[in-house]
Amino acid sequence: MNDWDRDWPAPAKINLFLHVVGRRADGYHLLQTVFRFLDFGDTIRCEPRSDGRIALATPLPGVPPETDLTVRAATALRAATGATAGVTLHVDKRLPMGGGLGGGSSDAATTLMALNRLWRTGLDSSALQRIGLGLGADVPIFVHGRTAFAEGIGERFTDLVPPPAWYLVLVPAVAVPTLEIFRSAQLRRDTPAIADDDWRPGFGHNDLEAVACALYPEVARHLDWLRHYGEARMSGSGACCFVEFAREPEARAALAALPPGMKGFVAAGLDRHPLA
């Protein structure tokens, strides 16, 4: 298959824990987390253009195309490499906006990786990660492409291989703005840092969860329901929540038991990005 004809996967991520351990002088929060990819996400198809334009075939409601992360990623790659080719980006969205699953960041990273190959710009992963960091703090982990303990503002990685797991992920019908959570006076910013090799499955919590639950009761309601099955956690700044299962049948049985009005999906944890 010609690379221009293929669909490029943009998987979801979850944060197995997320601690805020400090704050830089420029206002950026210092984090510790473990990113894990899921076998569920968006897909992107790239269509070549002869007029040199970067266009989005599938604009998101309320998001001007020029501010869409896929368009910004393509524009940033051209600026960094001197490429002049055009492209129309077709994004098949399955991941919710404001869900904490990294949908926009994953789309941006996949756009960078796909166009780096299609345009033959020849950048290595480190160079793509540097471009990605200028687009958003979560973009580099998707380019890095492996389950990892992350530090700093989320750009320094130590690779990990957690046990195999399946996740039931619930998607509350609310979009949680990341900036609102990080700007909250109630957010704890002094959780003690740990060494990367001290992390173990089940460790920690999500420091953003209490703030999100207070502002968005639907997040709290979904977490409460998930706790019937284990230690439920919110991913990122929310709103999506998850609980881990050792086997797929148990995860799907829990999904089938969802009460009316709740939505979710089941996905396997991935230790490598499909494009890694």
Tell whether 264 is in a known binding site.
no
Query: At 243, which amino acid appears?
Result: V
Tell whether 99 is in a known binding site.
yes
Q: DSSP letter string over 49-69?
A: ESS--EEESSPPTT--GGGSH
Tell whether 103 is in a known binding site.
yes
Residue 93 known to be catalytic: no
Residues 6+ apart with CB under 8 A from 267: 12, 38, 39, 40, 166, 167, 169
Tell whether 152 is in a known binding site.
no
Report the C-alpha gap between 72 and 132 in whole angstroms: 10
Tell whether 230 is in a known binding site.
no
- DSSP letter assigned to residue 91: E
Tell whether 96 is in a known binding site.
yes
Catalytic residue among 13, 42, 107, 207: 13
Tell whether 184 is in a known binding site.
no
Q: DSSP letter string over 214-274?
A: HH-HHHHHHHHHHTTSS--EE-TTSS-EEEEESSHHHHHHHHHTPPTT--EEEEEEESB-T
Nearest one of 178, 97, 118, 106 to 144, comparing CA atoms: 106
Tell whether 261 is in a known binding site.
no
Report the C-alpha gap between 37 and 146 in whole angstroms: 8
Residue 13 known to be catalytic: yes
Catalytic residue among 42, 107, 138, 207: 138
Tell whether 125 is in a known binding site.
no
Tell whether 260 is in a known binding site.
no
Tell whether 27 is in a known binding site.
no
CA angle 4-110-263, nearest 5°?
Answer: 115
Report the C-alpha gap between 65 and 54 in whole angstroms: 10
Q: Which residues pair with 43 in a beta bridge?
A: 9, 92
Binding-site sequence positions for ATP: 96-106
Residues acting as catalytic residues = 13, 138
Annotated binding site: 96-106
